[in-house]
Amino acid sequence: TLPNGRPFVIPENLYIIGTMNDIDRSVESMDFALRRRFAWREVSADESLCILESKINDEDIRRRLTDAMNKINEKIEESNLRLGTEYQLGGAILAKYMKYVDCPDAFGHLWDNHIKTILNEYLRGRRDKENILGELKRVYDSAVQARTPEQPDRGAEPQQA
């Protein structure tokens, strides 16, 4: 009952949707408590591509960001990195490109302020961190660089004339 005497009612069709990254170490104890009390659905990196589709209208930019996400995630999955699919980047991180869309080096800002930051956290304490970050940066740069029809992405389907 509310202080004014009226009943407080939560409608049956009200859903509360929360999101969290399951590798965040700082919320581990809260994570266990929430998992016991609520239903969970994991969203894979591939499923999160819809975020890019909804936030990035420019088809070329969206393709480059999708390519970067996929290539970084392929590297993250490689056994020598010892990370795994739970460390893959999702569309929400790459959609932060929109914060810098009007900047001359939007892709650089996205890397420096978001992607590199999270990868640094993933690799904290590893002796090979700088080498891995350098490798992932090369993969990212390769994916986001502008391509002309004369310079298709290696491995991409040739463009039809």
CA 38, CA 18: separation in Å to the nearest integer? 10
3-state helix, strand, coil in the chain (%, to 5): 55, 0, 45
Closest CA to 90 of 63, 124, 65: 65
| Tens of pLDDT, residues 55-74 | 999 999 999 999 999 999 99
| Tens of pLDDT, residues 95-141 | 999 999 999 999 999 999 999 999 998 898 999 999 999 999 999 99
Model pTM greater than 0.75?
no
Nearest 5°: phi and psi at 41? -140, 120
Burial of 18 (0-12, 13-18, 19+ CB in 10 A): exposed
**Residue 125 or 19, more confident:** 125
The helix (H) or strand (E) run that includes residue 59 is: helix 59-77
